[in-house]
Chain A
């Protein structure tokens, strides 16, 4: 495979996604846009949390804290640069550029927060880790609540409207692509090994602490991205948007979809967000619905809707991929059982 082709393949999902989103954006009514933004943000959150909770098997409850870090970072930047225009660019483009910078900065600061939280807490396991991450999430929130610079409890308002379908859609694609490519790489397998058996992973040369921190940092960065996006969709960043209830919502999405399944996280993020919008009149019962959903799921299907499987593991898609692999490799070359590994199979010939 030539390098130009490799680059093309690596950015292909974005090349497909961008024009579709750009075409959709002007024709979408504003209320639908807001719902879709919420869906996209939740996809980013759920898939990124899945990297820690599903892939690596570490139970984190602090996702909202990293969202807050990202949201406030981006808000501060867009507010500070709201009057600034890059001279060589038209106003609209200049604003988008500022927002892009803000998003990158949001991811960076959230990642730094991820390192600070991850380093001490990832020595713990299971329930202990859950409690500690929950605590850190709340600490981040109460720090913000007490900083004049960040508007204390009232937060930062009057943020410029920068989040649109393209930004959200591309972020969701970026998150899914990241998770998917991670899952079929040697780094991803190291994370799975930690989930399966930490002692054995360590004995097989996997730096378990290092990889746990890495997974945590990656996950935190994307949570920061989600926070930045949502705050620029509702023009507001307040500490109340990032309580631990928000973290739990994301955990519910991940568990519901199936720990370790990217498809599961995406599907349950979409379904839960839209159904919550439909149930808006019954807002008060929201957490009750969540709880009932979870109880029902745990009783009937404790591994989540998808388990650890993906869309492409389902029989229909497996057949599809196999046919493609057989067609590509010729009847002699392909073994019929070689389908699970769709990344390495067709890749060689693509």
Chain B
């Protein structure tokens, strides 16, 4: 039994005849920042869904802190210490920023329905504790001033940050971010990267980032995994990935060529 917060061993996801993910292996050590990249439809989000319990893996094991979790419901896996954000933001739109985070603090709440209705001491302690924690996470993500705003009305970047605050509030050992920088401009992306690093340093949790933007993920992660058509084609340090011919072919290829077209169109023309 390992003490690693997350071990994914030989996970395969099949949908009918389609193998969306095959033989996926991933070990997250405490405090590690890992990037998961790949072209569209490579199986990145499928991998996330298999880890967080949205799907039950067809084969293989997901082990959280030495405990096998495949087949458990997402809420159980969340309580065990895996939190996530969504590619297309999924906030509780009509609720305030504070309530969004407070809901996530619910994981592991011990007070029950009767405590709430009869306002028992346990209920009051719990609520005070939840409020205090929620305020902390809002402060960490720089959202204190938005505390009482309906989350739907927040600017896009702040919605992304609120989603991270909400995921953090579940008290995870591993935080899974699904394209956190999607739709952001360059300045916002840089800011977000710094934020992701500071979260890791502050909370000492492992972070797994899916990202489309190569520069973002190369800049932030210590280790990377590259998926293509559900197969892990490479893993290693960002520099190694950058030089890996398979990766260039599968994923960087397009981007590189595009870049070349822009920067040196004359050179490449005969």
| Interface residues in chain A, defined as those with a beta carbon under 8 Å from any beta carbon in chain B | 1, 3, 6, 9-10, 177-178, 181-182, 185-190, 192-193, 196-197, 199-208, 214, 218, 308, 337-338, 340-341, 344, 347-348
Asked if B98 lies at the interface with its beta carbon under 8 angstroms from chain A, I say yes
* Least distance between A206 CB and chain B CB atoms (Å): 6
Interchain CA distance A343-B120 in the complex, whole Å: 14
Are A205 and B108 touching (Cβ within 8 A)?
Answer: yes
Q: Let me know if A204 and B124 touch, CB within 8 A.
A: no
Q: Hey, which chain B residues are within 8 Å of A187, CB to CB?
A: 111-113, 116
Q: With A186-B111, A206-B75 known to touch, is A192 a contact of B148 (CB < 8 Å)?
A: no
A192 contact set on B, CB distance < 8 A: 92, 94-95, 99, 103
Known: A204-B78, A308-B94. A10 touches B118 (CB 8 A): yes
A241 to B86, CA, bound (A): 48
CB-based nearest B residue for A178: B117
B79 with A189: CB separation less than 8 A: no
Residue among A9, A182, A205 making CB contact with B106, cutoff 8 Å = A205
Quick one: CB contact mask for B171-187 with A, threshold 8 Å, 1 for yes?
A: 00000000000000000
State A100–B256 Cα separation when bound (angstroms). 78
- Most B CB atoms within 10 A — which of A6, A190, A205? A205
Check A207 against B75 for contact (C-beta < 8 Å). Answer: yes
Known contacts A10-B119, A340-B148: A202-B74 contact under CB 8 Å? yes
Interface contact B116-A188, CB-CB below 8 Å: yes
CB neighbours of A9 from chain B (8 A): 119
Task: Report yes or no: A186 in contact with B102, Cβ–Cβ below 8 A.
Answer: yes
- A338 adjacent to B148 (CB under 8 Å): yes
> Are A205's CB and B79's CB within 8 A?
yes
Residues of A within 8 A of B74 (CB): 202-203
B119 touches A201 (CB 8 A): no
Residues of B within 8 A of A193 (CB): 92, 95, 103
**B127 engages A197 (CB within 8 Å):** no
Determine the chain A residues whose CB is within 8 A of the CB of B131 once the complex forms. 344
CB distance from B100 to the nearest CB of A (A): 8
Our pick among A186, A188, A196 for the contact of B126 (Cβ within 8 Å) is: A186
- Chain A neighbourhood of B126, CB < 8 A: 186
Q: State how many angstroms separate the Cβ of A304 from the closest Cβ of chain B.
A: 14
| Nearest residue, chain A, Cβ from B85 | A203
Q: Give how many B residues have a beta carbon under 8 Å from the other chain's beta carbons.
A: 50
A203 to B83, CA, bound (A): 7
| Cα distance, A186 to B125, chains bound together (Å) | 12
Question: Complex formed: what's the CA distance from A193 to B148 in Å?
Answer: 16
Given contacts A192-B92, A204-B78, A204-B106, contact A181 B166 (CB under 8 A): no
Q: Does any Cβ of A come within 8 Å of B90's Cβ?
A: yes
Instruction: Name 26 A/B residue pairs within 8 A (Cβ), A-sorted.
Output: A1-B124, A6-B121, A177-B117, A181-B116, A182-B117, A185-B111, A185-B115, A186-B130, A187-B111, A190-B103, A192-B92, A193-B92, A196-B93, A197-B93, A199-B90, A200-B92, A203-B52, A203-B74, A203-B78, A203-B83, A203-B90, A204-B83, A204-B170, A205-B78, A344-B127, A344-B131
Query: What is the CA–CA distance of A338 and B167 in the complex, to the nearest angstrom?
Result: 24
B62 in the interface (beta carbon within 8 A): no
Partner of B75 from A3, A178, A208, A348 at Cβ < 8 Å? A208
For the complex, give the distance between the alpha carbons of A171 and B170 in Å. Answer: 37
Whether A201 lies near B103 (C-beta < 8 A) is: yes
* B190 part of interface (Cβ distance < 8 Å): no
Chain A residue at minimum C-beta to C-beta distance from B90: A200
Determine whether B84 belongs to the interface, using a CB cutoff of 8 Å to chain A: yes
Q: Pick from B78, B95, B109, B112: contact of A196, CB below 8 A.
A: B95
Q: Does B73 contact A (CB under 8 A)?
A: yes
In the complex the two chains form, is B113's CB within 8 Å of A214's CB? yes
Partner of A218, one of B92, B93, B113: B113
Note all chain B residues with C-beta closer than 8 A to A348. Answer: 128
A279 to chain B, nearest CB (A): 35
- For B167, what are the chain A residues with a Cβ–Cβ distance below 8 Å? 204
Collect the chain B residues with CB atoms within 8 Å of residue A200's CB: 86, 90-92
The interface residues of chain B lying within 8 Å CB-to-CB of A201 are 92, 103
Across the interface, which residues of B come within 8 angstroms of A185, CB to CB? 111, 115-116, 123, 127
Chain A residues near B103: list those with CB within 8 A.
186, 189-190, 192-193, 201, 204, 206
B119-A6 in contact (CB<8A): yes
Rounded to whole Å, the gap between the CB of A252 and the closest CB of chain B is: 23
Residues of A within 8 A of B248 (CB): none
Other CB < 8 Å A-B pairs besides A186-B102, A205-B107, 13 of them? A185-B111, A186-B127, A196-B93, A196-B94, A199-B90, A202-B75, A203-B74, A203-B75, A203-B84, A204-B104, A206-B75, A341-B148, A347-B124
In this complex, which of A3, A188, A204, A218 has the most chain B Cβ atoms within 10 angstroms of its Cβ?
A: A204
Which residue of B is nearest A3, CB measured? Answer: B121
Q: Once bound together, how far apart are the Cα atoms of A54 and B118, in whole Å?
A: 22
